[in-house]
Amino acid sequence: MSARQEMRSDRHGPLTAFAVDLDRTLLRPGARSYRAPSAVLSSVRTLGLKVVLASGREYLPLSRIARRLGTVDALVAENGAVIEAPVGTRPRAIGRTLGRRVRERLAGFSGPGAEYGEVVVSVPRRAKREVAGLLKGLAVELVPNVDRIMVLPRGVTKATGTRRAVRALRLGSRHFAAIGDAENDLALLRAASLSGAVGNAEPGVRAVADYVCRARYAAGVAEFVNGPVSRYLAPRRRGGVGRFDGRPARPGE
């Protein structure tokens, strides 16, 4: 057994959920139509999986998008800090008190472009050094997300949020598949039993994913669902348990 297979062996099991990032994964930048993303999520449901929308976005904007997509069972907002599972129940915030302390400290932030959610604070990436200085001593992490830095309670990730969501959905198994594009998706992909990177994903994400899609955005998510995810689930339909063979698939293979 390879080192990679050993690392993943404790995560093999029957998939019950599918976690998908939103921006630059399910939605292309500037997208106005949700038809293709919604169709992809419907195909996930057809496979018998619950859909978890996992995003760095603030809770309220994400919940509005989820309603437009229509086929979402749970929300993981603010990179794991706010969870609504099942959709329609009261959302739960993780680290709200610490989030308030972060806001107090950042009252002295001199740069423009800070965005505040229930817990998360997002600032331009160029402001990382200043923000780190203002928050020195607090139990927070600065998580890169393309051109932004997200300030989160230490240990809060999309992976922890998705695990909470899957538990709240009361599924028979806690194993899930996941797909993303950026650095803030890395913890989620590493926690998944089967992970994918869309064709437009950053190099670091492509390096850790089990499968790297040829297609970009929603088309890439559809490729992952119709290919690796369907194949993983096939043994379950025959009464067995799906497994990942330890070899990452690359475009052209």
Q: In the structure, what pLDDT confidence band is assigned to residue 246 with cuts at 50, 70 and 90?
A: very low
Q: Which residues of 149-187 are buried (b: 16+ CB within 10 A; e: fewer)?
A: bbbbbeebbbbbbbbbbbebbebeebbbbbbbbbebbbb
How many Å separate Cα 228 from the centre of its chain?
18
Q: What is the pLDDT of residue 235?
A: 66
Which residue in this structure is represented by tokens 């331009």?
Answer: 124
Q: Is it the case that residue 242 has pLDDT exceeding 90?
A: no
| Other residues' Cβ atoms within 10 Å of the Cβ of residue 87 | 18
Q: Is it the case that residue 7 has pLDDT exceeding 60?
A: no
Q: What is the mean pLDDT of residues 62-81?
A: 96
**In terms of domains, do 13 and 134 share one?**
no
pTM flag (> 0.95): no
Q: What is the pLDDT of residue 145?
A: 87
**In terms of domains, do 131 and 176 share one?**
no
Tell me if 251 is assigned to some domain: no
Tell me if 193 is assigned to some domain: yes
The CA-based angle 70-189-102, given to 5 degrees, is: 80
Q: What is the mean pLDDT of the chain?
A: 89
Q: What is the pLDDT of residue 216?
A: 98
- The DSSP H or E segment spanning 40 is helix 35-46
Length of the chain: 253
Q: In the structure, what pLDDT confidence band is assigned to residue 6 with cuts at 50, 70 and 90?
A: very low
Residue 218 belongs to domain with CATH number: 3.40.50.1000
**In terms of domains, do 56 and 141 share one?**
no
**In terms of domains, do 87 and 166 share one?**
yes
Q: What is the mean pLDDT of residues 125-143?
A: 94
Q: What is the pLDDT of residue 112?
A: 79
Express each pLDDT in 97-119 by its tens digit: 999 999 999 987 877 788 999 99
Tell me if 244 is assigned to some domain: no
Q: What is the mean pLDDT of residues 170-197?
A: 95
Range of the domain at 102: 95-153
Tell me if 121 is assigned to some domain: yes
Q: Which of 8-12, 127-131, 196-200 has the highest mean pLDDT?
A: 196-200
Max CA distance (Å), the chain = 60
Q: What is the mean pLDDT of residues 31-40?
A: 93
**In terms of domains, do 38 and 126 share one?**
no
Number of structural domains the chain divides into: 2
